[in-house]
Chain A
Amino acid sequence: MINPFSIIDRRLGLKRHYRRIFERPLPEGVTYFYCLGGIAFFFLIVLTFTGVVLSFYYVPSASEAYHTIRFIDGKLPGGASMPGGWLMRALHVWAASGMVAAVMAHMLRVYITGSYKPPRELNWVVGATLFVLTMAFGFSGYLLPWDQKAYWATTVGTAMPKTIPVIGNFIMELLRGGPDVTGITLLRFYVMHVYILPLVSIFLLWAHFHMIRRQGISGGL
């Protein structure tokens, strides 16, 4: 009897690797509060799935964006809609809020248990960067529906850096792609939201998880 898995395993050593990950013991005092980071990661998986599905229909241009969002929501006057689109978008919005809440709660748990103490300082820095990236995801995603609320929220939000002396105007125009919020801003935010931020986040998450594996979970006090 040929076992296809054992053929692959003899070459790649998957079982050995799996044992190292799955059978490692945990320290005492690991409670449900230690699941918050896992919840944040789970929401990221939900966001990736719903985000990819939404991107099949969403068009990031000033003339198309609002129309395609109405199509996804099933709110077009003609009744044309993306099947299950409203649910994908609603889940994307709620999972985003959930992820921000989970990341914040995770950071608070790590603070209270002092889990960033040596030798885990570097992992705290990586985690704090991931928090900033999560907020940037939220900010860039808010503009994409291109409705009245999104447009003016981004106008106000991108005007804030302008008040910084000397470099303020440069930062604002870098974010907007010009002096005003236009279709270029929409494209820029879209590229941030679906290419740049996910790429950087995936790399940092890889580092975050590998450091946990190397150093172990900090455990109870």
Chain B
Amino acid sequence: MDKNQKKFYPDYLFEILLVCLFALEGALLLSYVFPPVTGSPVDFSRNFMPRPEWYFLALYQMFKYFPGRLAFIGVAVIPAAIIFLVFALPFLEKTHSRRLSDRKFSALVVAVILISAVVLTVLSYY
């Protein structure tokens, strides 16, 4: 067997433990500098539009573009279609090549979805 070939132990395990240590340090630092803020107690009479966690902001922003009876398109049809695409991805692509350059159409669709999600997230701050 090739002496230079990486093994799970010690090479890969060491790499993973190293990045996990950095991840823990990052989480500890953020916890110390920005601890979570607990708001006021629930006031049922004071209705307001709170911001969700950052990973739901794109969905929250899309909700604004489909008012009234069309709302389900923004909050159900489009997200369900994207989730379906994600799940079916290995079965939708015809090529068995792993290279991105051999699956340009797929890459284009994924790029459009990702850029849209980022743009919607940024727009939700305004």
Contacts and interface: CB of A to CB of B under 8 A. Distances in A.
Contact of A147 (B1, B38, B75): B38
Interface residues of B, number: 63
A160 B75 CA distance: 6
Contacts of A100: 53, 55
B16 to A, nearest CB: 4
Contact of A138 (B5, B8, B56, B76): B56
Contacts of B24: 42, 46
A35 to B, nearest CB: 5
B98 A114 contact: yes
Contact of A26 (B11, B20, B75, B83): B11
A164 B75 CA distance: 9
Contacts, number: 179
Interface of B: 1, 5-9, 11-13, 15-16, 19-20, 23-24, 26-28, 30-32, 34-36, 38-44, 46-56, 60, 63, 69, 71-72, 75-76, 83, 86-87, 89-91, 96-100, 103, 110, 114
23 contacts: A22-B7, A22-B8, A22-B9, A23-B9, A25-B6, A26-B5, A26-B6, A32-B19, A42-B20, A91-B28, A94-B27, A97-B55, A113-B98, A114-B97, A117-B97, A124-B90, A128-B87, A135-B55, A148-B39, A148-B46, A156-B60, A163-B76, A164-B76
